[in-house]
Amino acid sequence: MSSTLSYKKNLNIMKKTIMFAIDLKTEEIIVSESDKGSNKVNFIERIQRKENELLFDAIVTLTRVTNSNDFDIAIFRAMDKVCQMIYCKHVENKM
């Protein structure tokens, strides 16, 4: 199964929004989820930077896009999609 197809399958199964944050003190990625349209956020996991350097760097870039003075929603959505795909691949590799 291609990674893109698998990513879409994961999103369809979950029907949730995956959110990312970085804890710079511990150098960990914080992964949370929320049902679409809900304000309730559920913690999923913490991932150490050394466990997935690519995902860590992508989320740092996503954060920089968010904090940019020239914020562009299209760029944010594209970068978020990259983070989602890398995370889905991370989950697949753990199985």
Average pLDDT estimate for 80-93: 94
pLDDT at 13: 45
Per-residue pLDDT for 91 more than 70? yes
pLDDT at 10: 53
Sketch the domain layout of the chain as residue ranges.
Answer: 3-94
pLDDT at 15: 66
Full-model pTM: 0.80
Long-range contacts, stretch 86-93, CB < 8 angstroms, 24+ apart: 86/52, 86/54, 86/55, 86/58, 87/18, 87/20, 87/31, 87/55, 88/3, 88/6, 88/7, 88/10, 88/11, 89/3, 89/6, 89/7, 90/47, 90/52, 90/55, 91/10, 92/3, 92/6
What pLDDT digit, counting tens, does each position of 1-56 carry?
Answer: 444 445 455 544 456 789 999 999 999 999 999 988 888 999 999 999 999 999 99
pLDDT at 5: 47
Per-residue pLDDT for 82 more than 90? yes
* Token pair 């594209």: residue: 78
